[in-house]
Amino acid sequence: MTKKTIYDIAKDLNLAPSTISKVINHKGNVSDATRKRVLDYVKETGYVPTSSARMLKSGRSYSIGVVFTEELNIGLEHAFFSSLLQHFKTYAERQGYELSFIVSQLGNHKMSYYEWCLNKKVDGVYIVVGAYDDKGILDLAKRDIPVVSNDILLDGIKTFISNNEQGINIALDFFFNEAKLKRVGMISGPLSSRAFKMRHDAFYKYFDIKGLTVNPNHIVESKSFGFTSGYQAMEQMIKNQKELPEGIIVGSDDIAIGVLRCLYDNNIKVPEEVQLIGFDDIHSARLLTPSLSTIRQDTVKLGEAAAASLIKMIEDPTFEVPQLVELPVNLILRETTKKY
């Protein structure tokens, strides 16, 4: 007996295939009468959607849970992390997987991330960004469900990140060797974030290896991830000293935009008086005036590598994935820097 498709059902019931799809997938607006008619037909014929048949045969849900921790005050509008999520999503969907956000509360019912995963029967988890004190993430790392991340470094989670130390090294090499600067500082992101901590530590390591002395007044930690915190961090640096660094590495482009605005408001010329190098190469970096020099992270490769590895882990539990994969970065020179 030939298996029916939604097109066969649509023809039999004299309805549009899109209407059948809406009813079967519980999406869209369909009248109660039409919905009942379709469901009665499905029940009578024993029709099983292709996706459901695949799920029954494989024992998998073809669904991936996503953690995007709002406690960090990073909304989905954050350019870098939203780009990672988009490229992960695109790759996963091409492989037949769908994504759904993991939440800690459904209605009045609170649950752990892991309990949510069990409830939704997801096959794996993708952590776009998260806090290291998030108990839900710590719990997931100890469970038997496959987990990957573009941010979190914990045993039990396979992590795909850019080579942060390489990025800081090539930025500092430019400042000291090509721009011939003598005073270089840093405005990092919140050090509670592992990526910002790695960049901060790489800055100090470079100075130590080169036998250089870090001026503590030239190091400021931005309290959050965006424009306002970058502006405030630069204000703090200006107030703390008479002599600003000639070059500043900023932990992210979003923060660097705030730094750049603060310098402008204080009549400090960029790059004539202070040069800036950001980190990420978000789309708006090239649109600023002056355009922002930055360390480019390849969000396409990062998102796709995480997705490909998670799917392989789901489909083959014996597949070996390194605990940490670091992808190369490169320096993009624009108008906030200049060579000597």
Domains of the chain (ranges, CATH numbers): 6-47 (1.10.260.40), 63-161+300-327 (3.40.50.2300), 164-297 (3.40.50.2300)
| Alpha-carbon dihedral 104, 145, 53, 92, rounded to 10 degrees | 80
Q: How many other CB atoms are there within 10 angstroms of residue 170's CB atom?
A: 15
Q: What's the confidence (pLDDT) of residue 43?
A: 77
Q: What's the confidence (pLDDT) of residue 61?
A: 77
| Average pLDDT over the chain, rounded to an integer | 89
Q: What's the confidence (pLDDT) of residue 193?
A: 83
Q: What's the confidence (pLDDT) of residue 38?
A: 86
Q: Name, in order, each residue with C-beta under 8 angstroms of 48's C-beta and a sequence gap of 6 or more.
A: 56
Q: Look at residue 50 and tell me whether its pLDDT is greater than 60.
A: no
Q: For tokens 């721009």, what's the residue?
A: 179
Q: What's the confidence (pLDDT) of residue 225?
A: 85
**pTM of this prediction exceeds 0.85:** no
Q: Look at residue 2 and tell me whether its pLDDT is greater than 60.
A: no
Q: What's the confidence (pLDDT) of residue 293?
A: 98
Q: Look at residue 13 and tell me whether its pLDDT is greater than 60.
A: yes
* Rounded Cα distance, 55 and 59, in Å: 6
Q: Look at residue 203 and tell me whether its pLDDT is greater than 70.
A: yes
Percentage above 70 pLDDT, the chain? 90
Q: Name, in order, each residue with C-beta under 8 angstroms of 247's C-beta and a sequence gap of 6 or more.
A: 175, 179, 181, 183, 184, 185, 274, 275, 276, 277, 337
* Rounded Cα distance, 70 and 175, in Å: 35
| pLDDT tens-digit map of 87-108 | 999 999 999 899 999 987 666 6
In three-state secondary structure terms, 340 is coil
- For 126-135, 233-242, 255-264, 329-338, which range has the lowest pLDDT when averaged over its residues? 126-135
Q: What's the confidence (pLDDT) of residue 332?
A: 98
Q: How many other CB atoms are there within 10 angstroms of residue 248's CB atom?
A: 30
| Alpha-carbon dihedral 268, 272, 277, 281, rounded to 10 degrees | 90
How far from chain centre, in Å, is Cα 261? 25
Q: Look at residue 56 and tell me whether its pLDDT is greater than 50.
A: no
